[in-house]
Amino acid sequence: MFKVILGLLLFADFARSSDTTAIQKEVPAYSVLSQTSNLTIHPDYTYTFDIERKLVVNSSAGLEHATTRLFYDKLNEVRAFELEVKDVFTGKTLSKAKLKDMADGAYYSSSSVFDDNRYKYYEVTAGKFPVEVTIKSSVFSKTNFFLPAWTPVPQYNQKVKESLFAVNYPSELGLKYKEINLTGDKTTTEANGVTTITWTMTDLAVQGKDFESDDDHKLLLAPVKFSLDQYQGEMTDWSQLAAWQYELNKGRDVLPEDFKAKVLQMVDGVEEPYEKVKILYSYLQKNFRYVSIQLGIGGWQTMTAEDVVKYAYGDCKALTNLMKAMLEAVGIPANYTLVYAGQNADDIEVDLPANQFNHVILQVPTDADPIWLECTSNLLPAGFLGDFTRDRHVLVTKEGGGYLTKTPSYDTEVWNLIQSQSKVILDPQGNATISSKQQLFGNFSEVMLSVKNSLDERQQRDFLNRNSSISGLIVRDYTIDIVNQDSLPKSEISYEGVVQKFSQATAKRVVLKSFMGKLTPDLLANKSLKQVDEYEIELPEAWQPDGNFPEVKLNEEKLTGLLTVALEGRVLKVRREISVQLPEKLEKEQETELLKKINTAFDRTILFTKPTLSTTQIPSYE
Partner 1 sequence: MNKLFLLFLATLLPVVLVAQTPKMGEINQNEIDLKSVSYEPGAGAVFLVAYGESRFFSEILETNYFNRVKILTEAGKENGDFRIPYYAGSTNVEMVSAVKAEITNFVDGKPVVTKLGKENIFQVDLGNGNKEYRISFPNVQVGSILEFSYKKADKNLNFLDGWSFQRDLPVLYSSYQIIMIPQLEYKMIGQGENFFNRAEKSGSNGTYKWILRDLYALKGEPYMRNYRDYVDRVEFQLSRYQHAATTSGAEWTDFLNTWEKLGDELIEYYSGKGFYRTNPLEREVLSLDLSKGTQKEKAEVAYYYVRDNFVNEGADWIYTDQTLPQLLKSKKGAPGELILAYMGILKSQGIECNPVLIGSKGYGRSEIVPFPFLNQFDEILLLANLDGNLQFLDLSDPLAPFGYVDLDKHVKAGLFLEKNGSKLIPIDIRHNSNKLTFTNIKLDNETGELVMDNTIRNYYYEGLAAAHDVERLEEDKKPLEEYFSEDYGAFEIRNVKVDNLLEDKNMVNISFQSVLKNATESDMIVFNPLQMSEFAKNPFTQEFRVFPVDFEYSFNETYTANLQVPEGYEIDDYPTNESITIEGSPISFIYSTENLGSIFKITAKLDVKSPLIQRDMYSDLKFFMESVASKLAAPVILKKIAKP
CB of 178 to partner 1, least distance (A): 29
CB of 67 to partner 1, least distance (A): 12
CB of 143 to partner 1, least distance (A): 24
Residues with Cβ within 8 Å of 140's Cβ and at least 6 positions away in sequence, in order, are: 46, 47, 48, 49, 76, 77, 79
CB of 220 to partner 1, least distance (A): 27
CB of 226 to partner 1, least distance (A): 30
* Smaller CB separation from partner 1, 101 or 462: 462
Residues with Cβ within 8 Å of 399's Cβ and at least 6 positions away in sequence, in order, are: 243, 246
* Smaller CB separation from partner 1, 222 or 524: 524
CB of 290 to partner 1, least distance (A): 8
Q: 3-class SS at 403?
A: strand
* Smaller CB separation from partner 1, 532 or 601: 601
Strands (E), 58-101: 68-72, 76-87, 93-98
Residues with Cβ within 8 Å of 306's Cβ and at least 6 positions away in sequence, in order, are: 254, 255, 256
* Smaller CB separation from partner 1, 504 or 564: 504
What's the rounded Cα separation, in Å, for the pair 389 and 513? 40
DSSP state of 172: T
Say how many CA atoms lie within 13 Å of 364 toward its Cβ.
Answer: 28
* Smaller CB separation from partner 1, 46 or 599: 599
What's the rounded Cα separation, in Å, for the pair 169 and 51? 17
Give me the sheet containing 68-72, strands edge to edge. Answer: 68-72, 118-122, 103-106
* Smaller CB separation from partner 1, 131 or 338: 131
What's the rounded Cα separation, in Å, for the pair 526 and 411? 5
* Smaller CB separation from partner 1, 266 or 505: 505
CB of 620 to partner 1, least distance (A): 5
* Smaller CB separation from partner 1, 214 or 271: 214
Give me the sheet containing 544-545, strands edge to edge. Answer: 509-512, 606-609, 544-545
CB of 373 to partner 1, least distance (A): 17
One-letter identity of residue 174: G
CB of 39 to partner 1, least distance (A): 28
* Smaller CB separation from partner 1, 2 or 108: 108
CB of 128 to partner 1, least distance (A): 7
* Smaller CB separation from partner 1, 171 or 592: 592
CB 254 within 8 A of CB 347: no
* Smaller CB separation from partner 1, 350 or 613: 613
CB of 379 to partner 1, least distance (A): 8
DSSP state of 381: P
Residue 140, φ and ψ in degrees, nearest 5: -120, 135
* Contacts of range 382-387, beta carbons closer than 8 Å, 24 or more positions apart: 382/274, 382/277, 382/278, 382/281, 382/282, 382/486, 382/487, 383/274, 383/277, 383/486, 383/487, 384/410, 384/446, 384/484, 384/487, 384/488, 384/489, 385/361, 386/446, 387/343, 387/443, 387/446, 387/525
* Smaller CB separation from partner 1, 20 or 459: 459
Q: 3-class SS at 197?
A: strand
One-letter identity of residue 18: S
User: CA end-to-end span of the chain, whole Å?
Assistant: 80
CB of 465 to partner 1, least distance (A): 4
What's the rounded Cα separation, in Å, for the pair 440 and 490? 6
